[in-house]
């Protein structure tokens, strides 16, 4: 994949033009994320900003006993650099790759420079940040008020949107972490979705077969979250073997 094609695959990078685009191109590189590959860890200095093209990154809160729950999802609509946008170079949360794929890696110094001198880039990131914060609030309510069945459907829809494909890798163990639920409960929910014909699950891979059915099953949190991001989620899909 060319660097230009990668830029077109991420909504925030696609907003850059002229010298700012050239600066980002010159200082960054394409990386291929693997499942569970670390992006940043709690209280460690964040040295790079990542802009997913095909990968999906997960932001999680980890408890003292090792339990984790997802508090944010980042795909081709956004960036891992939210702490940097907020003026910090550390965070209490952890971020790692949820679904493998490509991302654009930009050194934090270049990101901060673009943020400081490019009003359009800053405004674009502010809109993304607002949508992201709204998503966090919605997910808190969702995890407290809705069933694991509804939340499972919501998470699968959100993941499909960001991958841009009907099929993506996923294990029950990983889904349980993302939903903050017992693995047994997630297994029952996934089995029910498969029995209904909405998905097919086999060998760690999920295939969405009936998206309207999955949308009807999901709680309202999916649509509320999707509306917050609006056009950011409509950036065109970039083929894995693109130019």
What's residue 44's pLDDT?
95
pLDDT averaged over the chain? 86
Split the chain (243 residues) into runs of 10 and give each run's mean pLDDT: 73 87 87 94 95 92 83 91 94 93 94 90 89 86 87 90 86 77 82 94 91 94 84 51 39
- pLDDT per position as a tens digit, 112-143: 999 998 888 898 899 899 888 888 888 888 88
What's residue 161's pLDDT?
86
- Every domain of the chain with CATH number 1.10.10.10 lies at 147-218
What's residue 232's pLDDT?
67
Q: Which CATH number fits domain 147-218: 3.40.50.300, 3.30.830.10, 3.50.50.60, 1.10.10.10?
A: 1.10.10.10
**pTM of the predicted structure, to 2 decimals:** 0.85
- Give CA angle at 124 (12, 11), nearest 5°: 20
- Every domain of the chain with CATH number 2.60.120.10 lies at 3-141
CA distance 227 to 230: 5
The two three-digit tokens of residue 190, written as one number: 């996934």
What's residue 242's pLDDT?
40
Q: What is the CATH number of domain 3-141?
A: 2.60.120.10
């Amino acid at each position: 994949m060319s660097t230009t094609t990668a830029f077109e695959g991420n909504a925030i990078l696609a907003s850059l033009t002229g010298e700012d685009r050239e600066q980002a191109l010159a200082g960054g590189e394409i990386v291929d994320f693997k499942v569970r590959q670390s992006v940043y860890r709690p209280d460690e200095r964040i040295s790079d900003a990542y802009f997913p093209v095909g990968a999906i990154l997960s932001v999680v809160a980890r408890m003292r006993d090792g339990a984790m729950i997802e508090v944010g999802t980042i795909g081709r609509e956004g960036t891992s650099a939210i702490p940097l946008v907020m003026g910090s170079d550390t965070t209490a949360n952890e971020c790692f790759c949820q679904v493998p794929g490509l991302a654009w890696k930009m050194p934090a110094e270049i990101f901060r420079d673009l943020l400081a001198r490019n009003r359009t880039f800053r405004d674009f990131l502010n809109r993304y940040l607002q949508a992201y914060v709204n998503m966090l609030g919605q997910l808190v309510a969702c995890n407290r008020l809705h069933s694991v069945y509804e939340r499972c459907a919501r998470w699968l829809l959100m993941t499909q949107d960001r991958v841009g494909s009907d099929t993506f890798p996923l294990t029950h163990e990983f889904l349980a972490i993302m939903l903050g639920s017992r693995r047994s409960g997630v297994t029952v929910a996934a089995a029910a979705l498969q029995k209904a014909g909405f998905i097919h699950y086999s060998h760690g891979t999920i295939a969405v077969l009936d998206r309207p059915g999955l949308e009807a099953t999901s709680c309202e949190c999916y649509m509320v979250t999707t509306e917050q991001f609006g056009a950011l989620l409509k950036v065109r899909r970039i083929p894995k073997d693109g130019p």
